[in-house]
Structure 1
């Protein structure tokens, strides 16, 4: 009996060769799984990323913010044919600057004006042309895999329909546009595996119209947008309201159950405890992994909400179409200055002015964005089609996924954590396979899978869905 038990145990802990998507499915025993599992280590920035982050220039960012403020107002309903004032002048200047950056890209970066007519709506009284300025840096090996970063260049005052008063919009959102433009500048001369899209969108204050059109264009084209980040109000870590400044923190809002899921899909996710494992939540974990380091000098405060109460930004347009998306914003807003008319009360000047921005802080936010986008674009894509086998009663766990198309793929890691843990606590390499069985109960922990390339870049984690 003892010999039989030892043989069964040995067999259980051995690698079992089974057919699964034309690949071998390793069976890792409980002892091996615990021994092989380790705490996930943060991904250190590669040499090219460190060099790129050093090139991000606070002075240039300040010049961009000041130039956008100098257009007086960038209200979506303001003049579009005045060469010095209004949203049309701002649009043309952004296009000119991005085109200048693209000139150094050897044809890999292209810039276009994407215009459409927005029909009348509660905040758009007449048909209005809205234009996004979009710079696309095409990837070398996987150009169809896309990452998007935006800031909105329109502005407003307290009265959202006032298209003529000065609306400087320094913090909201010249700061975000400056991040996008500076990233386009430093990345234009570099080669990436995947495609990165840098977009200055309009119509945000009137109803997210620019980003809505951009997201729909991607959806209509069947584009594989694997991540989108909105930079909206990233101008300072000092709220100028008497509270202590926090110039080393940026918030990142990430939703839980995806906005675009059907009720039935959401119920399935909740039934297996996956509320905290949607693709956007994985972006939050990934961002901290690759961008909290001495090169950025920043802490990312991940907030597990779609956005702030009573507010919304351009990432929502992408969430509504099923794309993973998140929103960067400063740690504490000053609502007394934001959106207010330019005025002086009791010796205090109000309005969204350049003086309230911290260009060094914006540069650090740009470095965070740069670290995230570069790490995404150089790594394999997020594994697709990841499922956990729930068809059998067993204390082992079988995971399956589709093979990666990355040309430099090294293999995959399986990650897990206790159901009460917010972040992954164990990671185990499983080789270049598309299926694995681990002698660890799926009832007790959450699992995920990520891809690795031969130079150490890691994809975001994909959480499995239960098999049907």
Structure 2
């Protein structure tokens, strides 16, 4: 096949380059982003708080208070969008019984994940994108199932984002499938997400990416009193948790400690989110989760799936895992008045833009290789075409080894490209791009001879 050398095309915001940046927004995705409303999100939060507690151990039969009432309300909110979806949206309450474990579950518990599946329009496209927030809440004592535990931000914010995304996105078609899940049991040990990840693995879902949203609606820190609604963190693992000895040796040899699938997804979220959402900077945090802590993406990571956590720039421990009370003039408790609904709107729009872009883009290029047959200061990459979708071409991505984000993109309509940059000094990847400009996730090359 004929080789082509194409000049770099700079796309998106947030790339660390000295050249002028061109921001290109696909009109349909930009229109959906504009539909996300802060007042809608605020109304969802107040309704979630009205259930008193959403502790996983609370009542599943009371119609007004407890986790059961809350999950039934979310179920009905999801269902209300079925007519607008043209039948593509299906909704279910996926329940299991958890036995007592002597830890955070003292009696058998009926656990329910509320799921809304927006079926892809291409029957040949098996890709699935999962986005979650956790429905359950807690007070200071995680075992107290009766005391009020409003959980406005933790994690009413993640659930509210799901409801708003389903409302907006169900009106538009996507070749791939998107699954929105309000999981339960997070505070009791990631129980709902573990069940979801286990189901995905057993049923052989082709999970291309999983986004976990846990606390995305408050902008201040406790103790240090910092405020920022212009930044959001994305946590991603570096070396894959499932890497075997051979894979670890390859990772070390080629210097791809920061180029696993989760890191590529995090970079994608940064570039795409900053392209579509104004005044929002995505901070890439190089660890799977906060220090020595975990979240609902972790069960997916442990099963080898590509998953990341999206969360507030700062945590406020006065309003997280706290029983409602006042001490020495300080109000404790996870209450709506401490939230920033414009910040929640931006973070919801970030998720929407990423999911819409991924699900309308062609699938990732296959069998991406970096040619090392000869010693040369050029770098030649080649690959097989995407299996789903109709790519108009491909980008070869390039960055310095010390850069957290891709710095240059070289476009080609072929399935190979040679560029005058040494593989000794730069890192490369390849992604597919569709007719609408939507891009797949990037694929780090293997070795080709």
TM-score (norm 1): 0.88
With over 3 angstroms needed to count, the CA separation of the structure-2 counterparts of 1:389 and 1:372, relative to structure 1, is same
Gaps of 5+ in 1: 1-23
Alignment of 1:92 with 2:72, yes or no, is: yes
Among 81, 84, 89, the residue aligned to 1:104:
84
Among 369, 373, 386, the residue aligned to 1:387:
369
Alignment of 1:53 with 2:18, yes or no, is: no
Contact 2:134 2:183 in 1 (8 A): yes
Partner of 2:170: 188
> SS of the counterpart of 1:61?
helix
Give 1:324-343 correspondences, 5 Å limit: 324-343=306-325
Partner of 1:420: 402
* Deviation by residue 1:233-290 (Cα, 9 ceiling, x = unmatched): 1121123656242011111111211222224312311221001111111112111212
Aligned mates of 1:355, 1:191 — CA distance in 2: 36
Deviation at 1:405, TM superposition (A): 2.5
* Deviation by residue 1:103-157 (Cα, 9 ceiling, x = unmatched): 3211011111111122332222233221101101111125411111100000111
Alignment of 1:75 with 2:55, yes or no, is: yes
Alignment of 1:320 with 2:302, yes or no, is: yes
Aligned mates of 2:199, 2:207 — CA distance in 1: 11
Give 1:257-268 correspondences, 5 Å limit: 257-268=239-250
Aligned mates of 2:276, 2:198 — CA distance in 1: 37
> SS of the counterpart of 1:317?
helix
Alignment of 1:223 with 2:205, yes or no, is: yes
Deviation at 1:439, TM superposition (A): 5.5
Among 114, 119, 129, the residue aligned to 2:110:
129
Aligned mates of 1:51, 1:388 — CA distance in 2: 38
Aligned mates of 2:224, 2:255 — CA distance in 1: 41
Aligned mates of 1:395, 1:294 — CA distance in 2: 36
Partner of 2:217: 235
Partner of 2:17: none
Contact 2:276 2:350 in 1 (8 A): no
* Deviation by residue 1:183-218 (Cα, 9 ceiling, x = unmatched): 011111111121111110001111111111111211
With over 3 angstroms needed to count, the CA separation of the structure-2 counterparts of 1:335 and 1:213, relative to structure 1, is same
Aligned mates of 1:446, 1:322 — CA distance in 2: 23
Partner of 1:457: 438
* Deviation by residue 1:342-365 (Cα, 9 ceiling, x = unmatched): 111123221111111121211111
Gaps of 5+ in 2: 14-22
Aligned mates of 2:157, 2:211 — CA distance in 1: 14
Partner of 1:139: 120
With over 3 angstroms needed to count, the CA separation of the structure-2 counterparts of 1:390 and 1:115, relative to structure 1, is farther
With over 3 angstroms needed to count, the CA separation of the structure-2 counterparts of 1:124 and 1:442, relative to structure 1, is same
Contact 2:430 2:444 in 1 (8 A): yes
Partner of 1:256: 238
Aligned mates of 1:308, 1:296 — CA distance in 2: 26
Aligned mates of 2:59, 2:213 — CA distance in 1: 25
Deviation at 1:39, TM superposition (A): 4.4
Partner of 2:94: 114
Deviation at 1:446, TM superposition (A): 1.1
* Deviation by residue 1:324-374 (Cα, 9 ceiling, x = unmatched): 111111111111221011111123221111111121211111111111111
Contact 1:38 1:425 in 2 (8 A): no
Deviation at 1:407, TM superposition (A): 3.6
Partner of 1:445: 426
Aligned residues: 438
* Deviation by residue 1:277-326 (Cα, 9 ceiling, x = unmatched): 11111112111212114644311111111110132111111111111111
Contact 2:26 2:437 in 1 (8 A): no
Contact 1:417 1:423 in 2 (8 A): yes
Aligned mates of 1:299, 1:331 — CA distance in 2: 10
Contact 1:417 1:424 in 2 (8 A): yes
Deviation at 1:38, TM superposition (A): 4.8
Aligned mates of 1:235, 1:55 — CA distance in 2: 18
Deviation at 1:465, TM superposition (A): 2.5
RMSD of aligned alpha carbons: 2.1
Contact 2:30 2:276 in 1 (8 A): no
Alignment of 1:247 with 2:229, yes or no, is: yes
Partner of 1:65: 45
Aligned mates of 1:100, 1:38 — CA distance in 2: 42
Aligned mates of 2:68, 2:209 — CA distance in 1: 29
TM-score (norm 2): 0.92
> SS of the counterpart of 2:81?
helix
